[in-house]
Amino acid sequence: MNTRRTLSLLACAIGLLAAAAPASAQGGYPDRPVKLMVALPAGGGVDMIARLVGQKLAAVTGQPFVVDNRAGASGRIGLPVVAKAPPDGYMLMASPASFLTTNKAIFKEMPYDPQADFAPITKLANQAMVLVVKDKQKFATAGAVLAAAKANPGSLTYASSGDGSPQHLAALMFETRMQLRMTHIPYKGGALAINDLLGGNVDLLFAPLPEALPHIKAGKLAALALMSEKRSPLITDVPTMREAGIQNMVMQTWIGLLAPARTPRPIVDQLNRQVHAILQSEEVKNHLLEAGMDVAPTTPEQFQQTIAQELTLHAELVKASGLVPQ
């Protein structure tokens, strides 16, 4: 009798310990280091959030999450590595929206399929697009930009970090929906685009808020309107496009976490739960907010739907612009 009671108590104790153990310990994943691909140079927004989330995941799972930067060719160097990796959860990637939604519309040949080759885990963060100018005496409001562009078709110049970039797509949305024409000046990167705006060589730029924020705070650029549903707590005096009197002009870029297609669903679900908990912590939310980002956790299905919807939208914008795929 005592033996049975002892065994029963022992079984209960084991059950309680199993219930309290983290999901990674129960499933055995991960039991070795995990690679986290970033197909961009170190130091940018995607790299920053990848390292932050990777450090937090390492603390939760007890295994390193090692960021692997493979920049170049608009993601067409790094993303195929993930697409061809074994679907076992040991190769993940943090990617900007454009590599998954815009590339298909602007490149004739793609070494990966943005829908078939990856398993979405969760969006990580959203970044609002903001209309910025250097000369606020010339353009005091977004309405002033709109009026000038309509009065003199093609006379206003706008910078971007390249054809099909978020900056370019935001400007295309402005042009097509407001039925006007401006002149696009593409650069090889966001920093070069902002530098030429600062130098007065172009009139305006639709920039991701994290890229423009330091220059806005320093008073070097004037923010006229946000392409978002609500104002940013970092620049509360800057209206949304709707508040500025310009309707149907909402666009944001995002960063997401994905794995190779056919990664087992239990691994995807475990990572989704763990990353959601990380993104909901006040420390992480505040860290990203200071950088101009809003945390944006989703289910895998919601993330997949976002990719599908934006593939369609971006293809329409690129087609409307007359941009010929390279």
Strands 91-96, 252-260: pairing kind: antiparallel
**Which one of 202, 226, 252 terminates a domain?**
252
Q: Are residues 214 and 313 in the same domain?
A: no
**Which one of 252, 280, 312 terminates a domain?**
252
Query: Residue 218: which domain range?
Result: 128-252
CATH value at residue 223: 3.40.190.10
Res 45: pLDDT = 85
How many distinct structural domains can be found in the chain?
A: 2
Q: Are residues 210 and 137 in the same domain?
A: yes
Alpha helices (H) along the chain: 2-20, 23-27, 45-61, 78-83, 97-101, 103-106, 142-151, 166-178, 190-198, 209-217, 265-280, 282-290, 300-321
Give the pLDDT of the chain (326 residues) as one tens digit per residue.
444 444 344 344 434 333 334 444 346 999 999 999 999 888 888 999 999 999 999 999 999 999 999 988 888 999 999 999 999 999 999 999 999 999 999 898 999 999 999 999 999 999 999 999 998 999 999 999 999 999 999 999 999 987 778 899 999 999 999 999 999 998 877 888 999 999 999 999 999 999 899 999 999 999 999 999 999 999 999 999 999 999 999 998 999 999 999 999 999 999 999 999 999 999 999 999 998 999 999 999 999 999 999 999 999 888 877 778 87
CA dihedral 228, 234, 238, 240 (to 10 degrees): 10
Q: Are residues 113 and 224 in the same domain?
A: no
CATH value at residue 52: 3.40.190.150
Secondary structure of residue 14 in the 3-state scheme: helix
What is the CA 51 to chain-centroid distance, rounded?
Answer: 14
Q: Are residues 227 and 300 in the same domain?
A: no
Question: What does the block give as tokens for 1?
Answer: 């009798």
Q: Are residues 139 and 247 in the same domain?
A: yes
Q: Are residues 122 and 259 in the same domain?
A: yes
- The phi and psi torsions of 136 (rounded to 5 degrees) equal -75, -15
Q: Are residues 285 and 248 in the same domain?
A: no
Question: What does the block give as tokens for 306?
Answer: 């976002």
Q: Are residues 91 and 167 in the same domain?
A: no
Q: Are residues 98 and 144 in the same domain?
A: no
Nearest Cα neighbor of 306 from 267, 268, 251, 264 is 251
Q: Are residues 163 and 245 in the same domain?
A: yes
pTM over 0.85: no
Res 132: pLDDT = 98
Res 15: pLDDT = 40
Res 158: pLDDT = 97
Q: Are residues 188 and 222 in the same domain?
A: yes
DSSP codes joined into one string, 123-156: EEEEEEEEEEES-TTT--SHHHHHHHHHHSTTTS
Res 27: pLDDT = 61
Q: Are residues 285 and 299 in the same domain?
A: yes
Res 161: pLDDT = 83
With a CB cutoff of 8 Å and minimum separation 6, the contacts of 207 are: 129, 130, 132, 167, 190, 193, 194
Res 320: pLDDT = 78
**Which one of 237, 252, 267 terminates a domain?**
252
DSSP codes joined into one string, 235-263: STTSPBTTTTT--S---EEEEEEEEETT-
Beta-bridged to residue 38, according to DSSP, are 69
